[in-house]
Structure 1
């Protein structure tokens, strides 16, 4: 393998690498921690993939608007969490995001764009708040925030990729089945089964 290819192949590993912690149990809490947080929690993964999938199902402009609304509003929710602003039922809101978004996909709901954006935005506040309150004390909040927003965007892209199947009859059935699975996973988180 040539030198440039090795460098390119190692980029994903560099993004996931964490800083060395000098104390047992310590966490750098910067970019790597922020990036890993959404990917490490299945409740976040299913909801964020669902945003991209529902956007793909709805088509343009929802295809790009919903995955932009979610991280922007999520960053606002994260700031509330960092500031210690209380938000009731955060975990229930995160779990319900999977249930609701999954059902919207499973039942092929074609909501108006502004309604879809409001639904996605409301759930983004809960996800962001959880990210913000779980921010380690010694962390760089800006690097952490950039990490979790970037990971969120990649999860939305995964959902959009799944949504590429919407065009065919069989693909629509697969997408709706994935929506049902997302709803079931959200229900599992909500009722403590997952």
Structure 2
């Protein structure tokens, strides 16, 4: 019981830490800067882990990897900043969690379209904060690693059932503050 209380307390603190979701001020242009950048925002962690969980459960990991990788690049190099990016980032976390919860019922093509759309949003947000192709390549590499963590975690049946719900709950909390 004590361990459950600690997990719940940690989740509540994460949901209340609005500054943990944003990650401005990392405008470096190198590959190392790009590698680190996605790790500095809870929204990106949860969205990529959630997409990894979904793609493992839906049995489309390679297609999801390609979709997300290309979409992140498209978003990063889009000539314009997307409007309302913070609510869209929060919504992506919520939807990634919901996708994981309904992976068996969600058509794979629809899941890939959603993954691509939200990856464009994440790529655009990161692209506005970083400079150059090399930094974007680092950010995409880290994003793929986070998705891979989701795939690995999905090997556990307990994680498959619980983690997407926690991701969706965190996304709902973020959306309330966006």
TM-score bracket, normalised by the shorter chain, equals 0.7 to 0.9
> For the Cα contact (< 8 Å) 1:39–1:45, is it kept in 2?
yes
Given candidates 147, 158, 176, the residue that maps to 2:149 is 158
| DSSP 3-state at the match of 2:83 | coil
Distance 1:73 1:48 in 2: 13
Given candidates 86, 108, 121, the residue that maps to 1:91 is 86
Deviation of 1:26 (Å): 8.9
> For the Cα contact (< 8 Å) 1:31–1:145, is it kept in 2?
yes
Distance 1:113 1:27 in 2: 36
Match of 1:79 in 2: 77
Match of 2:17 in 1: none
After superposition, give the CA deviation of every residue in 1:128-171 in whole Å (9 maximum; x if it has no partner): 11011112xxx4x1210110010001001000001112xxxxx1
Given candidates 185, 188, 191, the residue that maps to 2:170 is 185
Moved more, 153-162 or 86-95: 86-95
Unpaired segments ≥5 residues, structure 1: 1-24, 166-170
1:112 aligns with 2:90: no
> For the Cα contact (< 8 Å) 1:99–1:184, is it kept in 2?
yes
Match of 2:67 in 1: 69
Deviation of 1:175 (Å): 1.3
| DSSP 3-state at the match of 2:46 | helix
> For the Cα contact (< 8 Å) 1:91–1:126, is it kept in 2?
no
> For the Cα contact (< 8 Å) 1:51–1:67, is it kept in 2?
no
Match of 1:48 in 2: 48
Distance 1:33 1:144 in 2: 6
Distance 2:129 2:31 in 1: 14
Aligned pairs, number: 154
Deviation of 1:107 (Å): 3.7
Change over 3 Å in CA distance of 1:26–1:114 after alignment to 2: closer
TM-score by length of 2: 0.80
| DSSP 3-state at the match of 1:191 | helix
